[in-house]
Amino acid sequence: MLTKRQLLVLKEIIRLFTETGQPVGSKTLMTELPIHVSSATIRNDMAALEEQGLINKTHSSSGRVPSTKGYRYYLDNLVEPAEATPRELAAIQQGFGGHFYKIDEIVAQSARILSNLTSYTAISLGPEVSTIKLNGFRLVPLGNRQVMAILVTSNGNVENQLFTLPPNVASEDIEKAIRIINDQLVGMPLNQVANRLATDVPALLFKYLSSADGFLDIFGNVLRQAAAERFYVGGRLNLMDFLGDADVPQLKQLYSLIDDENGDINKLLGPNDEGGVHVRLGSELTPDVLSNLSLITASYSVGDHGRGMIALIGPTQMPYSKMIGLLDTFRSELAKRLTSYYSHFDQ
Amino acid sequence: MLTKRQLLVLKEIIRLFTETGQPVGSKTLMTELPIHVSSATIRNDMAALEEQGLINKTHSSSGRVPSTKGYRYYLDNLVEPAEATPRELAAIQQGFGGHFYKIDEIVAQSARILSNLTSYTAISLGPEVSTIKLNGFRLVPLGNRQVMAILVTSNGNVENQLFTLPPNVASEDIEKAIRIINDQLVGMPLNQVANRLATDVPALLFKYLSSADGFLDIFGNVLRQAAAERFYVGGRLNLMDFLGDADVPQLKQLYSLIDDENGDINKLLGPNDEGGVHVRLGSELTPDVLSNLSLITASYSVGDHGRGMIALIGPTQMPYSKMIGLLDTFRSELAKRLTSYYSHFDQ
DNA sequence: TTTAGCACTCAAAAACAATGAGTGCTAATA
DNA sequence: TATTAGCACTCATTGTTTTTGAGTGCTAAA
């Protein structure tokens, strides 16, 4: 349908537009293209490309700009991912170099590294498995009726929360509660634990304890924390650089979207079922705020510790070949780092 | 030096400019002022005010705008703080109504409430005392060589950090270390503890333990966390509303300033020695990014639990009388809430 | 199929005019 | 002496017109 030269023209338009941000005209293309044809010939090709909806004019006598459809075609057929440079690889590895005590620290760090590397905004979603189990639950009395609740999961995650006991709670009651929890629930997947907490566990506790209410709340709370899907954003401020000059209202909307801790981030990122690097842009993106942006996602797997996802928000005119290659390298480095982290808990 | 009518004119210019954001002309003033004089008379007064540098023209034939000096004069001599409305008071009290397990939760909440109430950006700095003492230090083993370090201070603050033991650490060593720490340091002000941690404590530990290095790191870390001055920002996004349309670079600078967790926030807020509500604006503010903004600070004291501070960043043309009154009410409500919180630890 | 040539389009910049809110000054007035 | 009416003047803002130039589509020749 499209000739080889026309594809070359499309590719070049995307390259130049990405570089300069300006519509690309036939004369410019004539000097930039590796082949030697006149500007009139290129104009004919451009007319064909426009016919297909792959490029657009900003006004009747302007140069051309790639359309969403054009980018889509480019991404599906033409783009050649560029390897990450040694310098980039080194930056990634150095970023992951330190010692981490929690998965979340690694995940947060991954968002920082990626945003630094790209100058875009990165969102990192840690690996998640439905098979995480409850490894233990403690209450550490700290004096003054303050107690710290600590929940440990099979993947080495630790959640804690401080709370204050009601005045009338007996300390043997606490110990009993702890014993019951640990006897009954340890070794069970977290979602099952949550289930039982909603069904038979309360009765069980009430059988032995005088007042189990506050206790249940706390346990439920920490459990929810442990099961919650957390994500980390790196390079928040970068949005301001690439998001159109002065579109402050859009900026604000975007930040609310990103900062919304309890909002469903998956709605934004999409499912992370398949491996590989995916790009969605413009009208392909669901919340309308993103309509002039581009979202690159890459999922990775950490053995049987589940799949995570890392995403990049940037302008539509991204250097895709570079970014796709970089993200591909990045996700495998991140997976490597997480695997090494988990190896402590696998013996 | 200035006549009564001139002051009235200044006050009215500030009121109108705050309301409309537009330069105020002599005709407008004529209709708005409570007294009846001609626009020419007002023009003469305006000339006098301009002579003093209290108001400015934006161009040679424009209306007048209050200068920084004009605002300063207004704040020092003319402003009449307005009482917080019952509705505002109710909002504050409702915001502080819930149960809090940590001081920091209250402080963070205070920033949220204040920013909601004002639509500006609020910074809240919790009460800080040099007399906080170390109440205890624990290490809770969690399995897999993971340990949670917990530090409790005399004001009920609890800091914790997760870490992993090196493979060769004996558990009796840990207990010994804990015992030494608690015997030697509990009851001592945090800064003294930090001091001793830098001087004689290491030797002490090394005397009894084979390897105390990682252990010291952890303790030092948690101690630093406990002693750190933390602040909370509410209504971050509001900056975008009142900071000039489209001055994205300034926005970005401001956010870096505010988000900088380890930066010295006191440099921004100034000392909180005196009580009362203070306003600084324009060129009176030190980081230049703030030069077209206004910063209202209010400090409060929570008995012998030290002094805290709450601040508001907004546009220079704020409704000062309202804001000053509101902040005054707010700080006393916050102090009340904190006092009630601390009362648990005072018996 | 490609290309030279040319008329045509239109955003952007520049030049110009009109409007009107607001000023400073002067001279008359209370 | 303080106030005011009157008037010429200034200048940001808005609207209009012109000019420019990059870029296009089309036609006819190579």
- What pLDDT, on the 0 to 100 scale, is given for residue A245? 65
* CA distance linking residue B220 with residue B199, whole number of Å: 12
CATH code (residue A33): 1.10.10.10
Q: Are residues A153 and A22 in the same domain?
A: no
Our measurement of CA B187 to C1' C11, in angstroms, reads: 75
Token pair in block for residue A7: 């594809």
Domain boundary at B182, B197, B227, which?
A: B227
**B46: which nucleotide lies closest, measuring CA to C1'?**
C23
Digit-coded pLDDT (tens) for A158-185: 999 998 887 777 777 788 888 888 898 9
Among A254-268, B57-71, B92-106, B281-295, where is mean pLDDT lowest? A254-268
How many domains, in total, are found in chain B?
Answer: 3
Q: Are residues A222 and A157 in the same domain?
A: yes
Q: Does the beta carbon of A251 lie under 8 angstroms from any beta carbon of chain B?
A: yes
Q: Are residues A312 and A322 in the same domain?
A: yes
CB contact under 8 A, A144 and B156: yes
CATH code (residue B97): 3.30.450.40
Q: At what angle do helices B190-198 and B213-227 cross, to 10 degrees?
A: 150
Q: Residue A155: give the domain boundaries.
A: 130-227
Q: Are residues A113 and A247 in the same domain?
A: yes
Chain A, residues 163-192, CB within 8 A of chain B, namely: 163-164
Which backbone phi and psi does A301 adopt, to 5 degrees? -120, 145
CB contact under 8 A, A152 and B142: yes
Among A69-83, A85-99, A133-147, A204-218, where is mean pLDDT lowest? A204-218
Q: Are residues A239 and A264 in the same domain?
A: yes
**In whole angstroms, how far apart are CA A297 and each of A242, A254, A259, A268?**
18, 17, 18, 10
Place of tokens 């942006």: A293
Task: Order the strands of the B158-164 sheet from edge to edge.
Answer: B134-143, B146-153, B158-164
Q: Are residues B276 and B341 in the same domain?
A: yes
What is the mean predicted confidence (pLDDT) over B29-50? 95
What is the mean predicted confidence (pLDDT) over A36-65? 96
Q: Are residues A62 and A158 in the same domain?
A: no
Q: Are residues A236 and A310 in the same domain?
A: yes
Digit-coded pLDDT (tens) for B138-181: 989 888 788 899 999 988 889 999 988 877 777 777 888 888 88
CATH code (residue A209): 3.30.390.60
Nucleotides of D under 7 A from a protein CB: 3-6, 9-12, 21-27
Helix (H, G, I), strand (E, B) or coil at B12: helix
Helix (H, G, I), strand (E, B) or coil at B318: coil
Mean per-residue pLDDT of chain B: 90
Domain boundary at A227, A245, A274, which?
A: A227
Q: Are residues B246 and B113 in the same domain?
A: yes
CB contact under 8 A, B255 and A248: no
- What pLDDT, on the 0 to 100 scale, is given for residue B218? 85
Strand D neighbours with CB under 7 A? A 23-28, 39-40, 43, 46-47, 50, 57, 61-64; B 5, 36-38, 40-41, 44, 58-62
* CA distance linking residue B130 with residue A71, whole number of Å: 60
Query: To 10 degrees, the CA torsion angle through A194, A195, A201, A202?
Result: 80
What is the number of other CB atoms lying within 10 angstroms of the CB of residue B170?
A: 12
* CA distance linking residue A29 with residue B36, whole number of Å: 71
Distance in Å, alpha carbon of B119 to nearest chain A alpha carbon? 14
- What pLDDT, on the 0 to 100 scale, is given for residue A246? 63
Q: Are residues A335 and A287 in the same domain?
A: yes
Q: Are residues A50 and A181 in the same domain?
A: no
B210 pLDDT band, cuts 50/70/90, is low
What is the mean predicted confidence (pLDDT) over B200-205? 84
Helix (H, G, I), strand (E, B) or coil at A193: helix
Q: Which residue has the higher pLDDT, B337 or B303?
A: B337
What is the mean predicted confidence (pLDDT) over A2-22? 96
* Residue nearest C2 (alpha carbon to C1'): A41
Distance in Å, alpha carbon of A244 to nearest chain B alpha carbon? 10
Q: A119, A138, A154, A158: best mutation site toward chain B, by most B Cβ within 10 Å?
A: A158
- What pLDDT, on the 0 to 100 scale, is given for residue B72? 97
CB-closest option in B140, B255, B345 to A138: B140
Q: Is residue A293 pLDDT above 90, yes or no?
A: yes
Q: Are residues A28 and A112 in the same domain?
A: no
* CA distance linking residue B199 with residue B191, whole number of Å: 13
- What pLDDT, on the 0 to 100 scale, is given for residue B346? 58
